[in-house]
Structure 1
Amino acid sequence: MASIIPQMKSMEIQGKIMTPQTFSLESGPIEDDQIIKDIPPTAHAVGNDSWQQVSLMLITSFNCGWVLSFSKLILVPVGWAWGIPSMLIVGFFSAYSSWVLAGFHFVDGQRFIRYRDIMGFLFGKKLYYLTLILQFSTFVLSNMGFILLGGKALKEINLVFNDTAMRLQYYIIITGVIYCIFAFVVPNLSAMRLWLGVSTFLTFGYIGVLLVVSAKDAKSVANKNYETQEDSTVGKVLSAFGAISAMIVSNNSGMIPEIQSTLQKPAVKNLRKALCMQYTLGLMVYYGVSVAGYWIYGSDVPEYLPKAISGPKWAKVLINLAVFLQNVISQHMFFQPVHEALDTKFLKVEEDAYSRENLKRRFFLRTLLFAANTLVTAAIPFMGDFINLLGSFTLVTLTFIFPSMIFIKARKTAGTGHKAWHWTLIIVFSLLAVATTISAARLIINNVRNYRLFANR
Structure 2
Amino acid sequence: MDVEGTASKDKPLTLNLEQGHEKGTQNDDYGLASAHTIDRDSWQQVGLLLVTSFNCGWILSFSNLIMLPLGWTWGVICLVLVGLYTAYANWLLAAFHFIDGRRFIRYRDLMGSVYGSYMYHITWSFQFLTLLLGNMGFILMGGKALKEINSVFNDSPLRLQYYIVITGAAYFVFSFSIPTLSAMKNWLGVSAVATFAYIVFVLIVLVKDGKSNSNRDFGISGSEVGKVFNAFGAISAIIVSNTSGLLPELQSTLRKPAVQNMRNALCLQYTVGVLFYYGVTIMGYWAYGSLTSAYLPENLTGPKWINVLVNAIVFLQSIVSQHMFVAPIHEALDTKFLEIDKPMHAGENLKRLFLLRVFFFTGNTFVAAAFPFMGDFVNFLGSFSLVPLTFMFPSMLFIKVKGRTARIEKKAWHWFNIGFSFLLTIATTISAVRLIVNNIQKYHFFADA
> When the two structures are superposed, what TM-score results if normalisation uses the length of structure 2?
0.96
Which structure 2 residues correspond to residues 48-197 of structure 1 after superposition, within 5 A? 48-197=40-189
Match of 1:357 among 348, 361, 364: 348
Match of 1:437 among 414, 429, 432: 429
Q: Which whole-Å CA distance do the structure 1 matches of 2:21 and 2:249 have between them? A: 22
Q: Output the aligned Cα RMSD.
A: 1.5
Match of 1:221 among 182, 196, 213: 213
Q: Deviations over 1:261-301 (max 9, x none)?
A: 00011000000000001001101110000000000110111
Identify the residue that residue 326 of structure 2 maps to in structure 1. 335
**Does the 8 A contact of 2:22 with 2:255 survive in 1?**
no
The offset of 1:222, in angstroms, is 3.0
In the alignment, structure 1 residue 449 sits paired with structure 2 residue 428: no
Q: Which whole-Å CA distance do the structure 2 matches of 1:335 and 1:299 have between them? A: 33
2:69 aligns to what SS in structure 1? coil
Q: Taking structure 1 as reference, are residues 5 and 278 closer, same or farther at Cα in structure 2, changes over 3 Å only?
A: farther
**Does the 8 A contact of 1:34 with 1:109 survive in 2?**
no
In the alignment, structure 1 residue 381 sits paired with structure 2 residue 366: no
Match of 2:410 among 407, 413, 418: 418
In the alignment, structure 1 residue 348 sits paired with structure 2 residue 326: no
The count of corresponding residues between Structure 1 and Structure 2 is 444
Gaps of 5+ in 1: 24-28
Q: Which whole-Å CA distance do the structure 2 matches of 1:37 and 1:219 have between them? A: 59
1:335 aligns to what SS in structure 2? helix
The offset of 1:78, in angstroms, is 0.8
**Does the 8 A contact of 2:21 with 2:29 survive in 1?**
no
Gaps of 5+ in 2: none
Q: Which whole-Å CA distance do the structure 2 matches of 1:340 and 1:157 have between them? A: 34
The offset of 1:213, in angstroms, is 1.9
**Does the 8 A contact of 1:225 with 1:299 survive in 2?**
yes
The offset of 1:219, in angstroms, is 2.3
Report the AA paired with residue 180 of structure 1. Answer: F
The offset of 1:32, in angstroms, is 6.9
1:311 aligns to what SS in structure 2? coil
**Does the 8 A contact of 1:37 with 1:111 survive in 2?**
no
**Does the 8 A contact of 1:32 with 1:266 survive in 2?**
no
The offset of 1:5, in angstroms, is 3.6
Identify the residue that residue 265 of structure 1 maps to in structure 2. 256
Identify the residue that residue 321 of structure 1 maps to in structure 2. 312
In the alignment, structure 1 residue 43 sits paired with structure 2 residue 35: yes
1:429 aligns to what SS in structure 2? helix
In the alignment, structure 1 residue 400 sits paired with structure 2 residue 391: yes
Report the AA paired with residue 65 of structure 1. Answer: G
Q: Which whole-Å CA distance do the structure 1 matches of 2:7 and 2:152 have between them? A: 63
In the alignment, structure 1 residue 372 sits paired with structure 2 residue 368: no
Report the AA paired with residue 53 of structure 2. Answer: S
In the alignment, structure 1 residue 312 sits paired with structure 2 residue 303: yes
Identify the residue that residue 14 of structure 2 maps to in structure 1. 21
Q: Taking structure 1 as reference, are residues 12 and 380 closer, same or farther at Cα in structure 2, changes over 3 Å only?
A: closer
The offset of 1:436, in angstroms, is 0.3
Q: Deviations over 1:294-347 (max 9, x none)?
A: 001101110000110111111111100000000000100000000000000000
Report the AA paired with residue 396 of structure 2. Answer: M
Q: Taking structure 1 as reference, are residues 37 and 413 closer, same or farther at Cα in structure 2, changes over 3 Å only?
A: farther
Q: Deviations over 1:349-377 (max 9, x none)?
A: 11012212111110000001000000000
Q: Taking structure 1 as reference, are residues 287 and 46 closer, same or farther at Cα in structure 2, changes over 3 Å only?
A: same
Report the AA paired with residue 435 of structure 1. Answer: A
Identify the residue that residue 249 of structure 1 maps to in structure 2. 240
Q: Deviations over 1:71-100 (max 9, x none)?
A: 000000010011101110000010000000
Identify the residue that residue 26 of structure 1 maps to in structure 2. none
**Does the 8 A contact of 1:260 with 1:267 survive in 2?**
yes
Q: Which whole-Å CA distance do the structure 2 matches of 1:329 and 1:443 have between them? A: 29
Q: Which whole-Å CA distance do the structure 2 matches of 1:107 and 1:263 have between them? A: 17
1:53 aligns to what SS in structure 2? helix
Q: Taking structure 1 as reference, are residues 329 and 17 closer, same or farther at Cα in structure 2, changes over 3 Å only?
A: farther
2:254 aligns to what SS in structure 1? coil
Q: Which whole-Å CA distance do the structure 2 matches of 1:239 and 1:47 have between them? A: 42
Report the AA paired with residue 399 of structure 2. Answer: I
Q: Which whole-Å CA distance do the structure 1 matches of 2:68 and 2:55 have between them? A: 20
1:76 aligns to what SS in structure 2? helix
Report the AA paired with residue 145 of structure 2. Answer: A
**Does the 8 A contact of 2:370 with 2:445 survive in 1?**
yes
2:174 aligns to what SS in structure 1? helix
Q: Which whole-Å CA distance do the structure 2 matches of 1:148 and 1:168 have between them? A: 9
**Does the 8 A contact of 1:43 with 1:349 survive in 2?**
yes
Identity %: 55
**Does the 8 A contact of 1:30 with 1:269 survive in 2?**
no
Q: Which whole-Å CA distance do the structure 2 matches of 1:403 and 1:94 have between them? A: 11
Match of 2:290 among 291, 294, 299: 299
Moved more, 409-418 or 327-336: 409-418
Q: Taking structure 1 as reference, are residues 254 and 248 closer, same or farther at Cα in structure 2, changes over 3 Å only?
A: same
Q: Taking structure 1 as reference, are residues 269 and 67 closer, same or farther at Cα in structure 2, changes over 3 Å only?
A: same
Q: Taking structure 1 as reference, are residues 5 and 292 closer, same or farther at Cα in structure 2, changes over 3 Å only?
A: farther
> When the two structures are superposed, what TM-score results if normalisation uses the length of structure 1?
0.95
The offset of 1:220, in angstroms, is 2.1
Report the AA paired with residue 93 of structure 1. Answer: Y
